[in-house]
C-alpha cells in the first residue's frame, strides 16, 4: 500500500481489467469501473476519453504479462519441443480450474465486439495473437522443424480452440486433449533438411 503506490490511471485500468474480464465489457458500466478504482467518473474521463479507449487500455495492459507467462511455462518445461509445447496446455488447464478464470480476454473481447471489426481493442488482440504465433514459430524454427510457421499457426488454433471450448463447457480435460493434439503435430513434423 505505502511503498507500491499506483498511479490513478493504473488503478483505473486495474479496476477495468478485473471487471471487464470478470463480467464482460458490455456488462460493466463506466460508473462501476470508476467506483471500483475509488475514483469519480469525472476523473476516469480525465484519463480516458471514452469507454472504448478504456477497453483498449485493458487489453494492452494484459498483453505483455500474458506472453511472458506462456514463455515461462515453455521454458520451465522438461523435454523436447513437443513436450514443452504440451506443457503450455497443461499449465493452462491448471489455470482454467481457478474459479475466476474466464478464458482468453482477447478472444472474448473479439466475440463481444464482433460487430465492430475495426475497434482498437480488436486490433490489439490481433497483434497479440500474431506475436504469439511468431514466438511459437521461432521456437519451432530454432529446433529445426520444417515449416515452423504453419505448425505455429496450428498450435495457436489449438490453444484458442481450447480457450473457447473450455469457456463453454468448463471442462479442463479439453485443454489436455488440445495439448495432446499439439504434441502429435509437433512430433510428427519432420526435421528439415
Q: Which of residues 33-52 bind DNA (CB under 7 A)?
A: 38-43, 45-47, 49-52
Beta bridge partners of 145: 191
105 neighbors 25 (Cβ within 8 angstroms): no
CA pair distance 141, 152, nearest whole angstrom: 10
Q: Give least dist CB 122 to its own copies, A.
A: 7
16 neighbors 34 (Cβ within 8 angstroms): no
Grid coordinates of 87: 506443457
Q: Give least dist CB 57 to DNA, A.
A: 13
Under DSSP, the state recorded for 103 is S
Grid coordinates of 97: 480450474
Under the binding rule (CB under 7 A), the answer on residue 10 touching DNA is: no
Q: Which does 41 bind (CB under 5 to 8 A by kind): its own copies, DNA, none?
A: DNA
Q: Which does 75 bind (CB under 5 to 8 A by kind): its own copies, DNA, none?
A: none
Residues that bind its own copies (CB under 8 A): 22-24, 26-27, 102-103, 106-108, 110-115, 117, 122, 125-126, 129-130, 150, 153-154, 156-165, 167-170, 174, 177-178, 180-181, 184-185, 188
Amino acid at each position: 500500500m505505502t511503498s507500491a503506490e499506483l498511479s490513478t490511471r493504473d488503478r483505473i485500468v486495474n479496476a477495468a481489467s478485473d471487471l471487464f474480464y470478470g463480467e464482460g465489457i458490455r456488462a460493466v458500466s463506466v460508473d462501476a469501473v470508476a467506483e471500483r478504482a475509488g475514483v469519480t467518473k469525472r476523473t476516469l474521463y480525465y484519463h480516458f476519453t471514452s469507454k472504448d479507449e478504456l477497453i483498449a487500455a485493458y487489453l494492452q495492459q494484459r498483453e505483455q504479462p500474458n506472453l511472458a507467462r506462456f514463455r515461462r511455462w515453455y521454458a520451465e518445461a522438461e523435454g523436447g519441443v513437443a513436450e514443452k509445447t504440451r506443457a503450455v496446455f497443461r499449465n493452462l488447464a491448471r489455470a482454467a480450474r481457478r474459479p475466476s478464470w474466464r478464458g482468453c480476454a482477447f478472444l472474448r473481447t473479439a466475440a463481444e465486439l464482433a460487430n465492430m471489426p475495426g475497434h482498437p481493442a480488436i486490433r490489439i488482440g490481433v497483434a497479440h495473437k500474431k506475436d504469439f504465433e511468431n514466438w511459437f514459430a521461432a521456437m519451432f524454427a530454432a529446433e529445426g522443424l520444417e515449416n515452423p510457421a504453419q505448425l505455429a499457426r496450428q498450435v495457436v488454433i489449438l490453444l484458442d480452440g481450447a480457450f473457447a471450448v473450455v469457456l463453454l463447457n468448463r471442462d479442463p480435460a479439453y485443454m489436455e486433449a488440445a495439448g495432446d493434439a499439439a504434441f502429435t503435430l509437433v512430433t510428427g513434423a519432420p526435421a528439415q533438411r
